[in-house]
Amino acid sequence: MAKDLNNILLSQEEENKIKAKTPDKLPLNPTAQGWSGQEVRRFLTKSLTDNEGSFLAEFKKKMIEIKTQFEDVFGEVAETVDKVNYLEQKVEEVRYSEKVDPNAKAYFNYAGSIYGDKYSLLPNAWESSLAVDPLEISVNSSYDRPRGTAQYPNGETEGVIIPQGVTSIGSYAFYNWGVNNQPLVIPNSVTTIGRSAFGVWQANNQPLVIPDSVTSIEQYAFYLWQSNNQPLVIPDSVTSIGSNSFSGWYLVPYIEIQAITPPTLASSDAFNNQNDAPIYVPNNSVEAYKTATNWVNLASRIFPISDNLTDLIGVVNDVIYQSDTHIMTFKRIEKPDIVIDLPSGNSYEPDGVTVVLNEEDKLKVSEKLEIDGGFL
């Protein structure tokens, strides 16, 4: 609150009061004019110490005003400091206090790992999550009234932490939150993600972490995350995937499905409009996926997980290898112990990685490598 510091200054009226009592108001020769010595002393004393209009009286008023102003200012500062201390205390309680449920501490730390470089948002998001009504998330909503979204008035700035203990995300619970580009934390108590629950989060480019408690992902559950360029990992707990559930992930670099047995797939359009991003599955399950119902329509995109070297390929410096007839561009490989053999003898060693050319003038790799924007 703005303070009126003019009250600290001496006003003209207050200055006139002091001047009215100054010694120059005495006659030049007071005793000659009939003033007794006692009257002179009394006048001089009043000019300095009288209860009204004296220098002391006005000085005391100004000191009281200054004290009041400082108390107001420092009171507001103290209130702000108290709020910060309270928030820090809550964070420490969740992390370390033996009085807090260990599961809550574990979930707090889990949420922190998902927030990553947005960790500074976590304390406020955690506080907000404690006020959420879990039933409003589990019940089905309508597309024009998403009840889950309503529970997070600050979700667009803080992110969304769904309370631990929620077992299902209702249909349309967070539907059409198109501007939300903050982290989403789904607890490992959730088993079902309903129809269009998180559909049309068009601006979101945060990592989507589906916990390994989820068994069912219904139709359109994560439809049209069109700005998301993060890898999509579907845990081995998932047994059914609805139609269009991940359709419209135009920028997804790859999909990893960890279930050994192919989940029931309602339609291959669950993975439509993904720029033909590769789908990696367990090594021994490739054929099972390629021949399973509806997965068969995605066979050309299905590869063994061991082919996925994305986590080994850096994006810092491009390396160019040039033979007499071929120019091949590939990303720098961060793992120096990977050797890519091409037996004819020509070789190049970027960052300790050996690259040699075989008689067919082709790169022969046991694991997938990004070449000229595509994959071998």
Which pLDDT tens digit goes with each residue over 115-146? 999 999 999 999 999 999 999 999 999 999 99
Confidence of residue 359 (pLDDT cuts 50, 70, 90): very low
Q: What is the pLDDT of residues 188-222, one digit of tens each?
A: 999 999 999 999 999 999 999 999 999 999 999 99
**Which pLDDT band holds residue 86 (cuts at 50, 70, 90)?**
low
Residues with Cβ within 8 Å of residue 352, at least 6 apart in sequence: 336
- 169 Cβ partners below 8 Å, 6+ apart? 137, 138, 148, 162, 186, 190, 192, 193, 194, 197, 198
Q: Tell me the domain boundaries of the chain.
A: 5-94, 141-305, 310-375
- pLDDT level of residue 357 (50, 70, 90 thresholds): very low
Q: Which whole-number Å values give the CA distances from 112 to 158, 159, 208, 228, in the listed order?
A: 13, 12, 14, 20
Closest CA to 192 of 149, 137, 262: 137
What are the tens digits of pLDDT across the range 287-297? 999 999 999 99
**DSSP per position, 334-369:** S-TT--B--TTSEEE-GGG--EEE-TTS----SS--
Domain 141-305, CATH number (from 3.80.10, 3.30.390, 1.10.287, 3.40.50): 3.80.10
Alpha carbon 356 to chain centroid, angstroms? 44
Of 288, 249, 246, the C-alpha closest to 270 is: 246
* CB of 168 closer than 8 Å to CB of 135: no
DSSP state of 299: G
Give the phi and the psi of residue 161 in degrees, each rounded to 5: -115, 110
CA-to-CA separations, 313 to 319, 369, 373, in angstroms, rounded: 12, 8, 13
pTM confidence score:
0.60
**φ and ψ at 233, to 5 degrees?**
-115, 125
Between CA 91 and CA 114 the distance in angstroms is 16
Note whether 144 and 134 are within 8 A (CB): no
With 80 as the cut, is the pLDDT of residue 37 above it?
no
